[in-house]
Structure 1
Amino acid sequence: MNAAPAAVATAAVFIWLGMVLAISFLEAPLKFRAPGVDIPIGLGIGRIVFRALNRVEIALALVALAAIVVGRPTGSVAALTAAILIILAGQLIAIRPQLNRRTDRVLAGQHPPRSSMHLYYVGLEAAKVLTLAALGICLLVAG
């Protein structure tokens, strides 16, 4: 892969990885331990934070994808890029809308039954972290 596009893609991927680790695996669980933060308040905060994270993820994904395409990727870089885009799309298209509907119900004072969608989202976040790390390492080697 060409050096300049590889450097841009590497930066985007590692920034993205850091944001996912900080938000999904640090901020999200910790906010519910703060004094005075109950489930509706935590969900309201989480909705805002994850909406912002997802927008930044899309931007970083586009930057990384553009740099990777321009840089003529290796097979492993192409495969990992496709995997990360599929994971992100699955989260945004298949899972987030269902989580948002459940959050809407909780914020309206209802008590909907527990949903397994949150577990699927967390599972995809873990897969995304591993895939981003692998992609970042491959980009470092390829650059």
Structure 2
Amino acid sequence: MTDRAALRTLVLAVAALATLFSLSFIATPVKFLAADVPISHLLAVGQVTFRASVAIESVLLFALFVSTRGTSRRLIIVAIANVAIQWIVIMPELNNRTLALIAGAVVEPSSLHNWWIGLDVTRLAIYAFVVHTCAHHLRETARTNGLES
């Protein structure tokens, strides 16, 4: 891996990690703390937020797939599969539940949110691994170049 490729991949992985963390683990739960906002409005905002986050993360995942090699690329493929599972398998049911709640229906508890969170945490770990790998490469290159000078 060249230094330029490592730096590009590092930036992409940090962007993916920051996007996923900020939208899924900060913005999503915090919106429910808003006082005097009907739950139906919060759920509608959540739907828009999730669509935006998957669009952003999908672009970053494509760029990471192109940019990575070896173990990092295999892990990015796992991350892509995680997003696919979330949006093809889990999201339709969560969306139906959200629409029912917005309409005022009572919805039974479900483990779907736990599965969603587990897949998000898996991707956070993948992005952190890629960040670590690239940072390690850049540190080693800097150390080696510093010794050779």
TM-score interval (norm. to shorter)? 0.7 to 0.9
2: CA distance, partners of 1:134 / 1:37:
38
Moved over 3 A (4+): none
1: CA distance, partners of 2:116 / 2:50:
12
Deviation, structure 1 residue 25: 0.9
- Cα deviation digits, residues 74-123 of structure 1 (max 9, x gap): x3222322222222222122111211111111122222222211111011
**Aligned residues of 1:10 and 1:140 also touching (Cα < 8 A):** yes
**Residue 96 of structure 1: which of 91, 105, 115 is its match?**
91
> Rg larger in 1 or in 2?
2
Q: Any residues of structure 2 matched to 1:12-23 within 5 Å, and which?
A: 12-23=12-23
**Aligned residues of 2:90 and 2:116 also touching (Cα < 8 A):** yes
**Which residue number in structure 2 is paired with residue 35 of structure 1?**
35
Q: Which runs of 5+ in 2 are unaligned?
A: 139-149
**Aligned residues of 1:87 and 1:128 also touching (Cα < 8 A):** yes
Deviation, structure 1 residue 133: 0.6
**Which residue number in structure 1 is paired with residue 66 of structure 2?**
66
Deviation, structure 1 residue 130: 1.3
State the AA in 2 paired with 1:52.
A
Please state if 1:123 is matched with 2:121. Answer: no
Q: Which runs of 5+ in 1 are unaligned?
A: none
Kindly report the root-mean-square deviation, in angstroms, between the aligned alpha carbons of the 2 structures. 1.6
TM-score normalized with structure 2 length: 0.84
**Aligned residues of 2:65 and 2:77 also touching (Cα < 8 A):** no
State the AA in 2 paired with 1:118.
H
TM-score normalized with structure 1 length: 0.87
Percent identity between the two aligned chains: 27
Please state if 1:79 is matched with 2:74. Answer: yes
**Aligned residues of 2:65 and 2:73 also touching (Cα < 8 A):** no
2: CA distance, partners of 1:140 / 1:97:
38
Indicate the SS of the match to 1:37. Answer: coil
1: CA distance, partners of 2:39 / 2:121:
23
Deviation, structure 1 residue 61: 0.6
Q: Give the total of aligned pairs.
A: 138
2: CA distance, partners of 1:133 / 1:86:
17
- Identify which range, 46-55 or 94-103, moves more after superposition: 94-103
Deviation, structure 1 residue 12: 1.2
Deviation, structure 1 residue 26: 1.0
